[in-house]
């Protein structure tokens, strides 16, 4: 299979171990959240390797030093609800980032995303936007999120998820070929209800302990 520079599968033994814990139906919500925190930091670490830097002059206790700082402003944008579980660890890695929120849920009959909330920094387009959602299933939510960010002026968007289905990857890449996808796993397929298989179930329910 040719290497696709815009589909980055982040492989790491710790991620493989923890992702299996996350998939286990017996894993509690508190453990699920903890696992997502650790995986989220590792994903963020890999997905931010190419962020731009600017020069920053500081004074060490001994002498002046010309160092670097992240060129901002960087905005982390979780797609509510489930995106929150990944966004918090990203913010731990990049504490100077801002957080913007997009509320979107998937209509269970049509599988189409329904947009119910938006709170983004007014200058969100002034720097990179990191769109996060644990699941890329049909791709509807991620595509709508990326479209919204583009409408708000974003030109540098990257999408980070935990699990991606081939159907969602394909749809997202067709709609937004300029948005790289970072994922911890590419699962087999969607089932008839639009769930990723083998998957981990409904990420939002598992994070927040609800059953819908
Ligand atoms: C899930 C998931 C994604 C979306 C993925 O959210 O967190 O946002 O579905 O599906 P798609 O790729 O087919 O759009 P859900 O609708 O369950 O909302 P929630 O995050 O509030 O639980």
Q: Ligand 1 pocket test: which of 80, 199, 203 has the largest number of ligand atoms within 8 Å of its C-beta?
A: 203
Q: 206 CB under 6 A from ligand 1?
A: no
What H or E segment, with its residue span, contains residue 46? Answer: helix 29-47
CA of 77 to the centre of ligand 1 (A): 14
* Sign of CA pseudo-dihedral 85, 88, 94, 98: positive
Report residue 55 as tokens: 């020069």
Q: How high is the pLDDT of residue 109? A: 86
Confidence (pLDDT) at 1: 42
Query: Which pLDDT band holds residue 3 (cuts at 50, 70, 90)?
Result: low
Average confidence (pLDDT) over 146-164: 97
The average pLDDT across 16-38 equals 96
Q: CA torsion angle for 39, 149, 157, 17 (degrees, to 10)? A: 10
Half-sphere exposure of 45 (CA within 13 A, CB side): 11
Task: Please count the other Cβ atoms lying within 10 Å of the Cβ belonging to residue 6.
Answer: 16
Considering only CA atoms, which residue is closest to atom 15 of ligand 1? 105
Taking the centre of ligand 1 as the mean of its atom positions, its distance from the CA of residue 138, in whole angstroms, is 9
């Amino acid at each position: 299979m040719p290497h696709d520079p815009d589909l980055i599968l982040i492989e790491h033994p710790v991620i493989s171990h923890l992702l299996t814990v996350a998939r286990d139906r017996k894993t509690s919500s508190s453990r699920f959240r903890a696992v997502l925190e650790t995986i989220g930091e590792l994903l963020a670490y890999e997905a931010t390797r190419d962020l731009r830097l600017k020069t920053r002059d500081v004074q060490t206790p001994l002498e002046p030093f010309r160092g670097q700082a992240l060129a901002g402003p960087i905005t982390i944008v979780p797609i509510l609800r489930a995106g929150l579980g990944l966004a918090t660890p990203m913010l731990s890695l990049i504490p100077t980032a801002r957080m913007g929120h997009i509320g979107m849920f998937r209509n269970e009959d049509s599988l189409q995303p329904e947009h119910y909330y938006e709170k983004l920094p007014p200058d969100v387009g002034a720097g990179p936007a990191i769109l996060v959602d644990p699941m890329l299933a049909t791709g509807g939510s991620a595509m709508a999120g990326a479209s919204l960010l583009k409408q708000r002026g974003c030109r540098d968007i990257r999408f980070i998820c935990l699990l991606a289905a081939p159907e969602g990857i394909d749809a997202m890449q067709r709609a937004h070929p300029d948005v790289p996808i970072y994922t911890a796993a590419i699962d087999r397929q969607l089932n008839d209800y639009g769930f990723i298989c083998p998957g981990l179930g409904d990420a939002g329910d598992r994070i927040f302990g609800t059953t819908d």
